[in-house]
Amino acid sequence: MRTAFRPLILTVILLTAALAQAAELEPGSHAPALSIKTWYKGTAVKAFKKDKTYVVEFWATWCGPCRFSIPHVTELAKKFKDVTFIGVGVREDDDGKNVKKFIDEMGDKMKYNVGYSGNKTGMYVTWMKATGQTFIPNAYIVRNNKILWIGHPLDMDQPLAEIKAGTFNVAMAKTKFHDAKVKAKLDADLMAAREAIYSLIRDGKEDEAKVKIDQLVVKYPTAKTDDLREYLATEGLKIRLNKVVELIRAQKFDDAKVNLADFKQRYPTYKTEQVEFVILAGDDHNAWKKKLHELIAKNDMPSLQIVFGAMVLSSKSNEPTPLFQEIADAILETIQKDELDKYWALALFYRDVKDYKKSLACLDNAIAAFPISMYKNEPKYLENIKKLRPELVEKLKG
């Protein structure tokens, strides 16, 4: 019996030890060993000594908050001269090639013992991962080989003073540490859920996104979702409308009509006359041309907005499309010498499609129209128009 019993006890002991090693560290846990690959500044610290207090601070050269907090750690090192401060670089994708340069640049702002433990290896694993920490800068206060406090370096003034005074409550620190971890996990989960919703909206899956927002409120009652709902309303509209425009520019008018019908069903109050007008060109060009001339003949703001909007929708960045050119020609056929606005608008449209010659011609007509236009008493308006001319001249030279 004894012979059979001993292996069982040994198995239980080994299993218990393995579970203890796998357990996350926390305030009150035994401090893991120091494992520094290279010491760059101060005195190499090999191990923790009894009855002595240590601060172990983790950082990286690329970390902005680390650069901000390091001078504060230096001030604490000056204040608590009997405390040993150890700065440990732990996350360097170049495996520490810039560590020395960083330390040299920091100079007296980083005046304590500093070393490098490896890129996400060494103490990053045995300390940070073992305590469930992923952010830097991150600091630990150790005394008598025990981790007493874990947190941001800017928050350790009071706990360090209490530890020195012998009034620090480890049990309370442990409770706060666990509460912070629960909150951090909750925040991370919530952030991931929010980003997933944003992705659905960007992919045009508004219905699915709306369901996820409702589910989010149920799972996280205090979560703010106003921004998500606003993004759903504005970005969802923009994405679907852009899809219709893309189909129009690709001359896929049948698909554009289907998508527009869906868009109008979802956003019934949104005005789509400009889009419908351009789609008409693909359905019945003669009907579209007739309506184009009717709109230009009306010469009122709503009609011209439809016409100019159609120019935007039918344009491409590299060259004017036939539809774009047909609209421009129709405007030029009826334009009056004093209609500065129309010449100015055409100059901008032609510039956007990189037809700089026609853009300059329209711009010069706009400038010539100024003295007889409704803007003749507004010299600043003319100055603004003239600013485009040097750009167009330069473009034509190139």
pLDDT tens, residue by residue, 34-53 = 999 999 999 999 999 999 99
**0.95 cut: is pTM over it?**
no
Of 216, 251, 286, the residue that ends a domain is: 251
Residue 5 banded pLDDT, cuts 50, 70, 90: very low
Q: Note whether 300 and 203 are same-domain residues.
A: no
**144 three-state secondary structure:** coil
* pLDDT (mean) for 366-374: 95
In a domain, 8, yes or no: no
Q: What average pLDDT score do residues 91-117 get? A: 92
Query: What pLDDT does residue 329 have?
Result: 94
Asked if 114 and 39 count as a contact pair (C-beta separation under 8 A), the reply is: yes
Over range 92-108, report the average pLDDT.
90
Question: Rounded to whole angstroms, how far apart are CA atoms 149 and 152?
Answer: 10
Residue 73 lies in a domain: yes
Q: What is the mean predicted confidence (pLDDT) over 283-303?
A: 93
Residue 372 DSSP symbol = G
Which pLDDT score is estimated for 158? 96
Q: Is the pLDDT of residue 332 over 90?
A: yes
Do 27 and 159 share a structural domain? yes
- Decide if 173 contacts 146 (C-beta within 8 A): no
The CA radius of gyration of the chain, in Å to the nearest whole number, is: 35
Q: Which of 36, 108, 115 is nearest to 73 (CA)?
A: 108
Based on the domain organization, do 256 and 393 belong to the same domain?
yes
CA distance readout (Å), 268 to 35, 243, 262: 65, 17, 10
Looking at residue 93, what is its pLDDT? 85
pLDDT at residue 18 tops 60: no
Phi and psi at residue 222, in whole multiples of 5°?
A: -95, 0
Contacts of 382 (CB under 8 A, 6+ apart): 367, 370, 375
Q: What are the CA-CA distances from residue 143 to residues 23, 28, 75, 104 (Å)?
A: 21, 10, 20, 30
Identify the residue with better confidence: 133 or 141: 141
Q: Domain ends where: 189, 217, 251?
A: 251
Same domain, 113 and 244: no
Cβ-proximal residues to 333 (8 Å cutoff; 6+ apart), any chain: none
More confident residue, 288 or 94: 288
Token representation of residue 67: 């650069």
pLDDT at 196 over 90: yes
pLDDT score for 17: 36
Residues 259, 362, single domain; the answer is yes
Answer yes or no: is 14 within a domain. Answer: no
Same domain, 295 and 390: yes
Neighbours of 388 (CB within 10 A): 18
Q: Given pLDDT bands bounded at 50, 70 and 90, which one contains residue 155?
A: very high
The number of residues making up the chain comes to: 398
**At 21, is the pLDDT very low, low, confident or very high (cuts 50, 70, 90)?**
very low
End-to-end CA distance of the chain: 98
Determine the Cα–Cα distance for residues 76 and 163; give it in Å rounded to an integer: 14
227 within a domain of the structure (yes/no) = yes
Same domain, yes or no: 151 and 178: no
pLDDT at 297 over 90: yes
347 and 370 belong to one structural domain:
yes
Boundary residue ending a domain (251, 266, 283)? 251
- Number of domains within the chain: 3
Q: Is residue 37 part of a domain?
A: yes
Provide the domain limits for residue 341.
252-397
Residue with tokens 């629960």: 182
Strand partners, 151: 139
The more confidently predicted of residues 109 and 22 is 109
Per-residue pLDDT at 9 exceeds 50: no
pLDDT value of position 143: 96
Q: What are the tens digits of pLDDT across the range 223-277?
A: 889 999 998 888 888 888 888 988 888 888 899 999 999 889 888 998 899 899 9
Q: Which residues of 181-194 are buried (b: 16+ CB within 10 A; e: fewer)?
A: beeeeeeeebeebb
Q: What is the overall mean pLDDT for the chain?
A: 89
Range of lowest pLDDT (211-220, 273-282, 313-322, 360-369): 313-322
What CATH number does residue 105 fall under?
3.40.30.10
Task: Answer whether residue 3 is part of any domain.
Answer: no
User: 200 and 122, same structural domain?
Assistant: no
Helix axes 285-298, 322-334, angle to 10 degrees: 40
Phi/psi of residue 113, nearest 5 degrees: -75, 125
Q: What order of strands is seen across the sheet that includes strand 84-89?
A: 38-41, 113-116, 84-89, 53-59, 138-143, 146-151
Q: Are residues 361 and 381 in the same domain?
A: yes
Which band of pLDDT confidence, cut at 50, 70 and 90, is reported for residue 317?
A: low
Q: Find the mean pLDDT for residues 279-296.
A: 93
Q: For residues 94 and 154, state if they share a domain.
A: yes
Cβ-in-10-Å burial (0-12, 13-18, 19+) of 115 comes to buried
Question: Residue 295: is its pLDDT beyond 50?
Answer: yes
User: Is 7 inside a domain boundary?
Assistant: no
Alpha carbons 273 and 276: distance in angstroms, whole number? 5
CA atoms of 280 and 290, how far apart (whole Å): 11
In a domain, 12, yes or no: no
* pLDDT confidence bin for 171, thresholds 50/70/90: very high
Q: Where are the beta strands (DSSP E) in the chain?
A: 38-41, 53-59, 84-89, 113-116, 138-143, 146-151
- Let me know whether 164 and 27 are in one domain: yes
Q: Which residues of 31-41 are buried (b: 16+ CB within 10 A; e: fewer)?
A: bbebbbbeebe
- Higher model confidence: residue 122 or residue 96? 122
DSSP string, 64-110: HHHHHHHHHHHHHHHH-TTSEEEEEE---TTTTTTHHHHHHHHGGGG
Strand ranges (DSSP E) for 272-346? none
Question: Tell me, what's the pLDDT at 205?
Answer: 87
The 8-class DSSP code of residue 371 comes to G
CB 139 within 8 A of CB 151: yes
